[in-house]
C-alpha cells in the first residue's frame, strides 16, 4: 500500500515535472523569435512611451497627456473613431447576408465571389481617389440620382460636414465587406451538408436555416471578423481619411480621426511628443480590443469543445 502510494507519488511528481520540462523546452525554442519580436515591438512601444513624457529633450511628466486629453480636436477624433466603430455591426451583418446569399447562389458563384472580394484587394488610395470623384457635388452619384428623378437625395457628399463621415464610412464598408464575405463563406462551405438537408426536410426556410444553423456554426469567424474590423475602425482608417480629405480631416473637422491627429501632430504641426502621447492612447484602445478579442475567442473555442 505504502509502496503503491509511493509509486503513485513518484508518478505524480513525474507528471508534474514533465509539463514543466516541456514548457521550459518550448520556451527555449520560442526564445529567439520572441526576443526578436520583443525587441522590434517592445523597443518602439517603450520609445513611444518615453517620448510621450518628454518635450524638447526634457522630462515633463504628464504635461503632454494633459495637453492631448484636453484638446477638443482629439475629442472630436476619438468621437469619430467611436462612430466608425458603430458601423462594425452593420459591416458584419452585410458580410453575413452576402455570404449566405453567395452560398445559396448555385450559378456564377465564382464570379460573384470574385466581384465581392475585388474591392478588398484594391489599394486604398485608388479607392479613395475614385470615390472622391464619384462623391463630388457634380460627381457621378449625384448625376445618377438626378437622372432618375431623385434630386432631393443629392448631397455634397464629401463637402458637407453633416454627411462627410457617413460618406467616408460607406466607402470603408464597401471596401472591407469583401474580406468578411470570403471568411464567412469559406467557413459555411466547410460545414456538413447533412445539417442543412435535415433542416430543409424539417421545413426550415432560408432565414430560419441560416439564423439557427449557419450563424451559431460560424460564430467564431463572425467574432474574429468583427474584432478585426473594430481594430480597423480604431486604428486603420488613416489612408481613407487622408486621401479623401486631402490630409485635413475636413470639411471642418468632420472626418478627423485619431490616426490623422497623430500624423498631423508629428509631421505637420511639428509636435512629435503630442503625436506620441496620442499614439499611446490609440495603442491602449487597440490593446483593449485585442484583449477583448482573445477573451471572446477563448470563450467561444471552449464553448465549441464543450458542445
Helices 164-189/219-235 angle, 10° precision: 150
Can residue 56 be called a binding residue for another protein (CB under 8 A)?
A: yes
**Which of 81, 87, 253, 255 contacts another protein by CB under 8 A?**
253
d(CA 295, CA 299) in angstroms, rounded, equals 6
Look at strands 54-55 and 58-59 and give their pairing: antiparallel
146 near another protein (CB under 8 A): no
Piece of 123-131, 197-205, 218-226, 262-270 that binds another protein (CB under 8 A): 262-270
Does position 6 interact with another protein (CB under 8 A)? The reply is no
* 98 to 137: interface string for another protein, x by CB under 8 A: -------------------------------------xxx
* Beta carbons of 85 and 78 less than 8 angstroms apart: no
**Cβ-count burial of 123 within 10 angstroms (0-12 exposed, 13-18 middle, 19+ buried)?**
exposed
**Binding piece for another protein, criterion CB under 8 A, among 7-15, 65-73, 193-201, 216-224:** 65-73
The yes or no reply on residue 247 touching another protein (CB under 8 A) is: yes
Q: Are 281 and 234 in contact (CB under 8 A)?
A: no
The C-alpha cell at 91 is: 459591416
CB 235 within 8 A of CB 259: yes
Binding mask 263-302 for another protein (x = CB under 8 A): xx-xxxxxxx-x----------------------------
Q: How far apart are CA 168 and CA 156, in angstroms?
A: 12
In the beta sheet, which residues pair with residue 55? 58
Task: Work out how close the CB of 108 gets to another protein at its nearest, in angstroms, rounded to a whole number.
Answer: 37
Least distance to another protein, CB of residue 52, Å:
13
Residue 160 interacts with another protein (CB under 8 A): yes or no: yes
Query: 71 — phi, psi (to 5°)?
Result: -80, 115
Q: How many helices (H) and strands (E) does the chain have?
A: 15, 2
Interface region with another protein, contact rule CB under 8 A, candidates 96-104, 150-158, 183-191, 227-235: 150-158
User: Please, are residues 227 and 292 in contact by the beta-carbon 8 Å criterion?
Assistant: yes
Tell me the site size for another protein, rule CB under 8 A: 45
- Residue pair 250/203 in contact by the 8 Å Cβ criterion: no
- Quote the least distance from Cβ 260 to another protein, whole Å: 11
Contact between 248 and another protein (CB under 8 A)?
Answer: yes
Site string (175-214) toward another protein, x via CB under 8 A: ----------------------------------------
201's grid cell: 426536410
Residue with cell 435535415: 198
Cβ proximity to another protein, 88 vs 124, nearer residue: 124
Q: Count other Cβ atoms within 10 Å, centred on residue 164.
A: 25
Least distance in angstroms from the C-beta of 273 to another protein: 10
**Would you tell me which residues interact with another protein (CB under 8 A)?**
20, 38-39, 42-43, 46-47, 50, 55-57, 67, 71-73, 135-139, 156-162, 245-248, 250-253, 263-264, 266-272, 274
Amino acid at each position: 500500500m505504502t509502496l503503491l502510494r509511493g509509486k503513485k507519488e513518484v508518478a505524480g511528481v513525474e507528471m508534474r515535472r514533465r509539463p514543466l520540462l516541456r514548457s521550459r523546452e518550448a520556451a527555449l525554442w520560442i526564445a529567439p523569435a520572441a526576443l526578436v519580436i520583443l525587441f522590434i515591438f517592445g523597443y518602439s512601444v517603450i520609445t513611444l512611451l518615453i517620448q510621450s513624457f518628454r518635450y524638447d529633450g526634457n522630462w515633463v511628466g504628464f504635461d503632454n497627456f494633459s495637453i492631448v486629453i484636453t484638446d477638443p480636436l482629439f475629442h472630436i477624433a476619438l468621437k469619430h473613431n467611436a462612430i466608425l466603430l458603430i458601423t462594425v455591426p452593420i459591416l458584419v451583418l452585410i458580410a453575413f447576408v452576402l455570404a449566405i446569399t453567395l452560398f445559396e447562389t448555385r450559378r456564377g458563384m465564382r464570379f460573384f465571389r470574385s466581384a465581392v472580394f475585388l474591392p478588398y484587394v484594391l489599394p486604398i488610395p485608388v479607392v479613395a481617389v475614385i470615390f472622391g470623384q464619384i462623391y463630388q457635388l457634380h460627381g457621378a452619384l449625384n448625376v445618377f440620382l438626378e437622372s432618375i428623378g431623385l434630386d432631393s437625395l443629392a448631397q455634397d457628399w464629401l463637402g458637407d460636414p453633416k454627411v462627410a463621415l457617413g460618406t467616408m464610412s460607406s466607402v470603408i464598408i464597401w471596401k472591407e465587406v469583401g474580406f468578411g464575405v470570403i471568411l464567412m463563406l469559406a467557413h459555411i462551405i466547410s460545414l456538413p451538408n447533412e445539417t442543412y438537408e435535415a433542416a430543409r426536410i424539417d421545413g426550415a426556410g432560408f432565414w430560419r436555416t441560416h439564423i439557427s444553423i449557419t450563424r451559431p456554426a460560424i460564430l467564431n469567424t463572425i467574432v474574429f471578423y468583427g474584432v478585426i474590423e473594430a481594430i480597423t475602425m480604431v486604428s486603420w482608417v488613416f489612408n481613407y481619411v487622408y486621401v479623401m480629405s486631402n490630409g485635413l480631416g475636413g470639411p471642418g473637422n468632420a472626418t478627423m480621426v485619431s490616426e490623422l491627429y497623430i500624423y498631423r501632430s508629428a509631421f505637420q504641426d511639428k509636435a512629435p511628443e503630442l503625436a506620441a502621447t496620442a499614439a499611446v492612447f490609440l495603442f491602449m484602445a487597440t490593446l483593449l480590443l485585442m484583449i477583448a478579442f482573445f477573451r471572446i475567442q477563448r470563450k467561444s473555442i471552449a464553448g465549441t469543445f464543450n458542445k
